[in-house]
Every structure is written in C-alpha cells, then in structure tokens.
Amino acid sequence: MAEIRQSGTWGSALTADEFSAIKSVGFEPAGQVLGAAVYNIGYAGGYSCPGAWAGYGGYLTPYQSVTAVSSSRSLGSFGPMVQTLYQARRAAIGRMMTECADLGGHGVVGVKLTIGHFPAGGLEFKAIGTAVRAPGAVPLRQGFSSDLTGQDFAKLIMAGWVPAGLVLGISIGARHDDWLTINQTRWGSGNAEVHGYTDLVNHTRHDARTQLERDVARIGADGVVVQDMEVLVRERECPMQEHRRDHIVEATVIGTAIAQFARHGDRRTAPLAIMSLDPQRRQAARVRLGP
C-alpha cells in the first residue's frame, strides 16, 4: 500500500461513468482495495430438529411444527453459523478498510461481498471496492464503506446524505416437515397455500430485517439503502426422525447505512423559455399565438 501511494498512480474498479460521477461531487479514486478471510465452518448449530418434538402433545410426528430462527437461539437454530457469517464478512470488510486508510482514502465505494469455496477447505469471504478521497479534506477517524455505485454515491452526496458503512442482516430459519405441510403439498391438495413454508420464509426474512436495523443502530446512522436481498432455500434429512425432512431458509440483506449532513430547503427554479430552431415549428407557433 505504501508503494502504491508513493507511485502517484491509482487503480480502480470504477467504470468511466462512475469515475465522472464521483469527480462531480469532489472525490477522486485512491486505489482498489481488498480484504479477505478464509474460515473453516466447524460447529454450525442446527444439529437438532427444530420441531420434531413440537405440535399437539409433543409426539414424534407433530401435526404442526414451529419455525426456529437463528437469533432465537432455540433448539435446532443455526445461531453459531450466523455468528460466523457475520464475523467473517466483518473481518474481510475491516481489512479492506485498513487498505483504504493506508492509501489515504476517506471511504470505499462499489464494494462487492462474495463467498466462495477455498480449494484447501473452508470458505473464502472477500470484500473488494475502490477507495476514494476528497482532496484537501481532513482524515476521518473511521472511513465509510458502501456498496453503492459511483453514480448512486454522487446522488447521495448531492442530496445531503453521506454513507456511514456497510450493514448486514443475516438469518437462518429451519422448520420440521410436519403432517400439515405434507398434506398441503400432496398432488390431490389442489391450489392451496402451504402455511408451513410461508411461515418459514416470512419469519426468516423478518428476522434478517430486524438484524439489519440493529446493525444500522450500532454504527449510529439514520437509515439504510438496500442493494441486495438474497434468500436461499434447501432441505435436509431430519437428524431426529428417519424418512422425514427439515426445510432451511437463509436470508441475507446487505445495504449501506446513511446519515444526513445537510438539509436542503424547497428548491424552486424559474421557468426556462426555450425557442425551437426548427423554422416550421416556429411558424406553427406564430399561427397558434397570433401576430
């Protein structure tokens, strides 16, 4: 990073339009920055069934199961797995922000968060973006990170708002395949809502949004603009009952927390008179308006 800073050149992942946009609001690229972390996923939680003992009477084959989300830390939830997902992503973002500070940047725009399998085992969490700086501005104690494009970043600044940092909302929900769900998904059940699946998806998404709001409050921002919402659905054989299944939903919400630094009043612009250069259109206007 020191060699790059002393070289007088910079790299970026910006398009030409993004470069022009950030320049229009007084920023310039400082360099491309990267943060990565490889984690081995050991104990993920969720080894017990989330609902095999629930239902009417608590027998092995419940009529109606329950949804267990990771934040509840209940039996069968994936709390340890979600904590690892948070920790790994924040480690990658933190190392990216360290490179940003080394380059003299005030923040990072266009951040892309990815997860991939590492060849030697485990998962690689990666954060890559372009560090930007405002020439002549004082260094920030804590730089900002944002997944906004250069154009969206410029629009935010022009509207009196500034990015505060990347925020995450992650939740994993699990639900046992109970008799009610089985009956509602049979061929002869017709076009009917599967209440167990609806409950699982809704509870997991709601929990992810709640975790996102807590992350916004943690960094002291006013709100969040969301760029990416992802829901992954899978199933597994129930660890407590043979020939039965558990359904698992992972919801991830990634956004940029923002804070307001200026308030703009009601801007009213004077009407602009435009004269057409087409002689036929000018003649038609004179006929309509009269001499």
Model pLDDT, residue 242: 76
pLDDT reported for residue 245:
84
**Helices 16-24 and 150-158, axial angle in degrees (round to 10):** 20
Count of domains forming the chain = 1
- pLDDT value at position 171? 95
pLDDT at 59: 47
End-to-end CA gap in the chain: 71
Range of the domain at 166: 2-289
* Amino acid in position 210: T
SS3 108: strand
- Note down pLDDT in tens along the chain; length 291 residues: 777 777 777 878 889 999 999 999 999 999 999 999 999 887 777 667 775 555 444 445 566 678 888 888 776 678 888 999 999 999 999 999 999 999 989 999 999 999 999 998 889 999 999 999 999 888 888 899 999 999 999 999 999 999 999 999 999 998 888 888 888 888 887 888 898 899 999 999 999 999 999 999 999 999 999 988 999 999 988 877 777 888 999 999 999 999 998 776 544 455 655 656 666 665 665 655 555
Q: Report yes or no: 10 and 31 within 8 Å, Cβ to Cβ.
A: yes
71 in Cβ contact with 211 (< 8 Å): yes
Q: How many CA atoms lie within 13 A of 210 on its CB side?
A: 12
What pLDDT score does 290 carry? 56
